[in-house]
Structure 1
Amino acid sequence: MSTLLLSEKKPIVAVLTVDDEARQFRGNRANFRDLVKTGQELDCPVYVVTARDLKLSAKRVQGYLFHPEDKSWRKHWLPLPDVVYNRIPLREDERRPEVRRKIDEVIRHDSIHLFNPCFFNKRRLFEWLKKNKTTKTLVPGTRKMLGPKTLSAMLQQYSSLYLKPESGKAGKGIMLVRLDEGEAKPYRLTIQGDKRKNIVYKTAKLRLLWKRIKAETGSTPYIMQEGIELSSFQGRHFDLRVLVQKTGKGVWMVTGTGARLAGPKRITTHVPQGGSIEDPEKMLIPAFGSDMTQFLLGRVKSNAVLIAKQIEKESGFLLGEMSMDLGVDTDGRLWFFEANAKPMKFDEPHIRKKSLERIVQYSQFLSRQPKVRT
Structure 2
Amino acid sequence: MKVKQAAKVQSKWIKTKILLQNSSIKPFIPDTRRWNEANLKQMIRDYKMIYIKPERGTYGNGVIRAEHKEGSYKYQLKEKVHNFDSFPAFYQSLSRTVGKRSYLIQKGIRLLKHSGRRFDIRVMVQNSPQGVWEATGIIGRLGQKGKIVTNYHSGGRPLAIGTLLQSHLGTAQQTRLTEELYALGVRIARQMNKTYPNIRQIGVDVGLDAGMTPWIIEVNTNPDPYIFNQLKDKSMYRKVMRYRRAAKGK
The corresponding residue for 1:342 is 222
The corresponding residue for 1:175 is 64
The corresponding residue for 1:137 is 27
Q: Distance in 2 between matches of 1:209 and 1:272?
A: 29
The corresponding residue for 1:211 is 92
Q: Which amino acid aligns with 2:76?
A: T
Q: Which amino acid aligns with 2:206?
A: L
Q: CA deviation at 1:327?
A: 1.4
Structure with the larger RCO, 1 or 2 (CA within 8 Å, 6+ apart): 2
Higher-Rg member (1/2): 1
Q: Distance in 1 between matches of 2:187 and 2:63?
A: 27
Q: What whole-Å deviation, never above 9, does each CA across 1:198-257 have from its counterpart, x for those lacking one?
A: 111111222211121122221110000001121111111111111111001101111111
Q: Distance in 1 between matches of 2:211 and 2:114?
A: 14
The corresponding residue for 2:18 is 128
Q: Distance in 1 between matches of 2:23 and 2:197?
A: 21
TM score, norm. by length of structure 2: 0.91
The corresponding residue for 2:147 is 266
The corresponding residue for 2:110 is 229
Show the 5 A alignment for 1:70-81. none
Are positions 1:191 and 2:77 aligned together?
yes
The alignment's C-alpha RMSD in Å is 1.6
1:333 to 199, 213, 224: 213
Q: Which amino acid aligns with 2:64?
A: M
Secondary structure class of the residue paired with 1:303: helix
Q: Distance in 1 between matches of 2:227 and 2:111?
A: 23
Q: CA deviation at 1:143?
A: 0.5
Q: CA deviation at 1:166?
A: 0.4
Kindly indicate whether the alpha-carbon contact (under 8 Å) linking 2:9 and 2:15 is maintained by their aligned counterparts in 1. no
Kindly indicate whether the alpha-carbon contact (under 8 Å) linking 1:177 and 1:190 is maintained by their aligned counterparts in 2. yes
The corresponding residue for 1:319 is 199
Secondary structure class of the residue paired with 2:167: helix
Q: Distance in 2 between matches of 1:354 and 1:136?
A: 29
Structure 1 gap segments, 5+ residues each: 1-103, 108-114, 193-197, 367-374
Kindly indicate whether the alpha-carbon contact (under 8 Å) linking 1:322 and 1:340 is maintained by their aligned counterparts in 2. yes
Q: CA deviation at 1:363?
A: 4.8
Kindly indicate whether the alpha-carbon contact (under 8 Å) linking 1:244 and 1:253 is maintained by their aligned counterparts in 2. yes
Q: Distance in 1 between matches of 2:119 and 2:146?
A: 12
Secondary structure class of the residue paired with 1:287: coil
Kindly indicate whether the alpha-carbon contact (under 8 Å) linking 1:130 and 1:136 is maintained by their aligned counterparts in 2. yes
Secondary structure class of the residue paired with 1:347: helix
Return structure 1 stretches of 4+ with deviation > 3 angstroms: none
Q: What whole-Å deviation, never above 9, does each CA across 1:44-79 have from its counterpart, x for those lacking one?
A: xxxxxxxxxxxxxxxxxxxxxxxxxxxxxxxxxxxx
Q: Which amino acid aligns with 2:239?
A: K
Q: Which amino acid aligns with 1:231?
A: L
2:181 to 300, 306, 323: 300
Secondary structure class of the residue paired with 1:258: strand
Q: Which amino acid aligns with 2:150?
A: T
Are positions 1:150 and 2:54 aligned together?
no
Kindly indicate whether the alpha-carbon contact (under 8 Å) linking 2:225 and 2:241 is maintained by their aligned counterparts in 1. no
Q: Distance in 2 between matches of 1:212 and 1:312?
A: 39
Q: What whole-Å deviation, never above 9, does each CA across 1:298-332 have from its counterpart, x for those lacking one?
A: 1111111011111111x343211111201111111
Q: Distance in 1 between matches of 2:46 and 2:131?
A: 42
Q: Distance in 2 between matches of 1:356 and 1:288?
A: 30
Q: CA deviation at 1:348?
A: 2.5
Q: Distance in 2 between matches of 1:340 and 1:326?
A: 11
Q: Which amino acid aligns with 1:308?
A: A
Q: Distance in 1 between matches of 2:69 and 2:193?
A: 40
Kindly indicate whether the alpha-carbon contact (under 8 Å) linking 1:177 and 1:187 is maintained by their aligned counterparts in 2. yes
Q: Distance in 1 between matches of 2:237 and 2:97?
A: 36
